Amino acid sequence: MNLQKSRRKIGYARVSTVGQTLELQLKTLTEYGCRRIYREKASGADTDRAELQKLLANLKEGQVVVVTRLDRLARSTFDLFSIVRTISQKNAQFYSLSEPWTDTSTSTGRLMLAVLGGLADVERDLIRTRTAEGRARAIAQGIKMGRRSRITLLQRQEIIQKRQNGWLLKDIAAMFDISEATVSRIVTGADSHKSRKNK
């Protein structure tokens, strides 16, 4: 890859589980010349990857985002296209050390981006079709759609009682493993349309 020395290389390293280590990725990215490396331990399916979002938000024109492998960056074709397109829209470049053809500073890399866009559209259509088919089957079988509340009616009553007794929102949230916002909605009755699950 022929990069001008003035371009700053920004690394991104990720592992999926707490038990895995980032050391090899960090070593490889550092040896390649990355002056800053964003790192995190998060599943590829986790859309809220804080460090990746921070990298994209801080990305400047002329910088190059570098990963050791494509699967460190994205979990699907659609996800990869979305991230690389965001990088390109900032007039920055993308490069994967294990897949040199991803160099978006070259004509081959730009062609790759265009192909990814087409594949992402196909993937999105397939997901939409499978979702619609699954929903239709569920309705035909009499299955109620929508996510069930995690809190039973008995737990809901207990949460309201604890709040009336002066418990802090954060303490109640920790006890039932829910967010403070959920506790607040239960206490105010704003969740009443969701909270009628089986006891």
Q: Kindly report the pTM of this predicted structure.
A: 0.56
Cα–Cα distance measured from residue 13 to residue 93, given in angstroms and rounded to the nearest whole number: 17
Q: What is the pLDDT of residue 30?
A: 94
Express each pLDDT in 157-169 by its tens digit: 888 988 888 888 8
Residue 189's Cβ-side half-sphere holds a number of Cα atoms within 13 Å equal to: 0
- Answer yes or no: are the C-beta atoms of 140 and 188 closer than 8 Å: no
User: Sorting pLDDT into bands at 50, 70 and 90, what band is 198?
Assistant: very low
Residue with tokens 């985002």, as numbered in its chain: 65
- Answer yes or no: are the C-beta atoms of 55 and 10 closer than 8 Å: yes
User: Sorting pLDDT into bands at 50, 70 and 90, what band is 2?
Assistant: very low
Token pair recorded at residue 159: 């949460």
Cα–Cα distance measured from residue 28 to residue 101, given in angstroms and rounded to the nearest whole number: 18
Nearest by Cα to 84 from 37, 119, 126, 50: 119
Between 46 and 68, the more confident residue is 68
Nearest by Cα to 64 from 97, 39, 40: 97
Cα–Cα distance measured from residue 154 to residue 174, given in angstroms and rounded to the nearest whole number: 17
- Answer yes or no: are the C-beta atoms of 182 and 173 closer than 8 Å: yes
Which residues are annotated as catalytic? Answer: 16
Q: What is the pLDDT of residue 132?
A: 76
Candidate from 36-40, 91-95, 121-125, 173-177 with smallest mean pLDDT: 121-125
Above 80 in pLDDT, residue 20?
A: no
Express each pLDDT in 64-83 by its tens digit: 999 998 888 887 777 788 88
